[in-house]
Amino acid sequence: MKLNSIKLTPYIFMLGVLFFISGCSNKPKKPIKKETQSTVYPSDVIPFMSEWKILCGDGTSYNDLTKVEHKGFFYVENENNTNWVVYKTPNSGITSRTSSNTRTELGQKKHWIPEEGGKLNGTLKVQHVSTSGDARVAASYSVVVGQIHSDEGHENEPIKIFYKKYPGHKKGSIFWNYEINTEGSNAKRWDYSTAVWGHDMSVVGSDSTTYPEEPADGIELGEEFSYEINVYKGIMHLTFKSKGHETIKFTKDLLKSEFTKKTDIPQQIWSLYTAIGRDGVERENAYAGEVQYFKQGAYNQTNGKNPEDNIVWSTGSETYNGDIAKQYANGCYAEVWFKDATVGPGTMPIKE
């Protein structure tokens, strides 16, 4: 008996090991953790964000835009596997000291003078403009998507690129404005507007609710286009492109004015600005030697100010007393998406 007991011991041991292994294999497996999708920031989509700071439509500002988003104002949307940087701003919020219009807009950190130059590119689509406003007011239903801004003197703007679409229209207009660098008082300043696709800024409604004819060659909401502002040796070279539209180019001298006398003022200005008494002239050397910087994003041109006080810029738009959520819910905002943009020094234009 003792001998048999000893001989069986190895078998019993092996059997125990098998049961142990079997027991381990039957234990419930721990669930495999799924990797969560990390946030995609605007700086991941357009790497030039380190060159900029931003002011958002609720007054929030950031000086470092690396890995920064501000939901509802500055963030990323993915559409058909393409990432877009979204700039969104209400009709009424908190804005800069030089404007009564809200913006979610980049401001270039590097400053330069026209003689040194600079270049800004953007590929974008406008998703929404305010649906409230006064049809007689030139700035109604519009947003500025790129500009050059002075940082001294009158702090005027050599260029602002607008998108404007009237409610009920399928197509809107793209135009650019040149603001004179006024000789003397800046109270007499005005913008000369040039159409790219569609109408220029001066084409307005006959009354507060009657819109002008829809532009046949306009750009729809959600339709992609691109612009380039290239200032080289004091000359501003502009290029606008969009699939299915003619490529349009312009040049404008920023060192020598063409508006130095009353007789130089275009008829467009007499028609548009007479009502608000703006008939100034520009200094002979325009923006020469004056510090400039680029801006890009959504600079909403609609506001709640009374049109009777300024029929060019006071749009009488709905603001819901500044309630941003109500403005967003009721179409009282501007929204612009960029998928690509670059900024850098001005370059010699390519002759074609």
| DSSP result, 207-267 | BTTB--PPPTT-EETT--EEEEEEEETTEEEEEEE-TTS--EEEEEESSS-S--SGGGS-H
Phi-psi region of 232 (alpha: psi -120 to 50; beta: other; left: phi over 0): beta
pLDDT of residue 15: 45
Domain ranges of the chain: 48-344
CA distance 169 to 172: 7
DSSP 8-state symbol, 226: E
62-91 tens-digit pLDDT? 999 999 999 999 999 999 999 999 999 999
pLDDT of residue 80: 97
**CATH code, residues 48-344:** 2.60.120.200
Please count the other Cβ atoms lying within 10 Å of the Cβ belonging to residue 246: 10
Position 26 confidence tier, pLDDT thresholds 50, 70, 90: low
Contact (CB, 8 A) for 114 and 152 = no
Distances (CA, A) of 204 to 139, 266, 279, 302: 9, 17, 20, 15
30-66 tens-digit pLDDT? 555 554 558 999 999 999 999 999 999 999 999 999 9
Longest dimension (CA), the chain: 130
Predicted TM-score (pTM) of the model is 0.90
Average model confidence (pLDDT) for the chain? 92
237-289 tens-digit pLDDT? 999 999 999 999 999 999 999 999 999 999 999 999 999 999 999 999 999 99
Position 350 confidence tier, pLDDT thresholds 50, 70, 90: confident
107-139 tens-digit pLDDT? 999 999 999 999 999 999 999 999 999 999 999
